[in-house]
Amino acid sequence: MKKRIISTILLVASALTLLSGYALTAEQRALADKLVRLHVVANSDSETDQAVKLQVRDAVLAETRRLLADETDPIPALRAGLPAIEAAANRTLAGAGSTDRAAVSLGPELFPTRDYETFSLPAGRYTALRVTIGEGQGHNWWCVVYPALCLSASAGELEAAAQAAGLSDGEIALITGESGGYELKFKALEWLEQFQDWFS
């Protein structure tokens, strides 16, 4: 009898954990559908290459701001603008005296949980604008290119940009930590992603 009760409790706990995991995954996917991440990878970890990476980042952000100024659907605009983004990155590299070239792509990418100054994003798959400089062996720089959260200096600016991009109040509360317990939720998402990767 005791073994049956323990088995039942474990079964119910497992089912609740699984349902909770699916709810978290659905929440992350809904958020990911509204965001485009930016991932800039430096040629190497040398001081020069890391400094050049930041110059390329700034050029890419300026070009994406231009491309996305009046857009509500960023994917087609970014896809059409890939040559212009790559050209801006390569002009910046040449201007910095670098012989490296940048390769720019747009596609799904797995990201870990990431904390920024005014917000955090859960682990998961997001559409990413990826800029790889040269060998792409250096430390990278991550942010969000749509909505334009990379340069939001205050919580108010971040909230305005997020609302303009169609994020719900609940999604904004999730990334700003106002919903409470977001760190535990985000860690659970990381574990769930790892679990799914093991069995896929």
Q: What is the largest CA-CA distance in the chain?
A: 76
Residue 96 φ then ψ, to 5°: -90, 0
Please state whether beta strands 124-133 and 36-41 pair in parallel, antiparallel, or not at all (unpaired): parallel
Cβ pair 127, 108 in contact under 8 A: yes
**Predicted confidence (pLDDT) per residue in 63-75, tens digit:** 999 999 888 889 9
Q: What is the mean pLDDT of residues 2-20?
A: 50
Return the pLDDT at 182.
45
Q: Among the listed ranges 26-30, 150-154, 181-185, which one has the minimum average pLDDT value? A: 181-185
Residue found by looking up tokens 């559409």 in the block = 127
Q: Which residue has the higher pLDDT, 125 or 188?
A: 125
Ranking 29-33, 112-116, 136-140, 185-189 by mean pLDDT, the lowest is 185-189
The stretch 126-152 carries a mean pLDDT of 89
**CB of 114 closer than 8 Å to CB of 141:** no
pLDDT in tens, 97-136: 999 999 999 999 998 888 877 788 888 899 999 999 999 9
For residues 145-157, give the mean pLDDT. Answer: 74
CA–CA separation, 121 vs 115, rounded Å?
7
Distance CA 11, CA 183 (A): 26
Would you state the pLDDT for residue 25?
A: 59
Query: What's the confidence (pLDDT) of residue 117?
Result: 76
pLDDT over threshold 80, residue 18: no
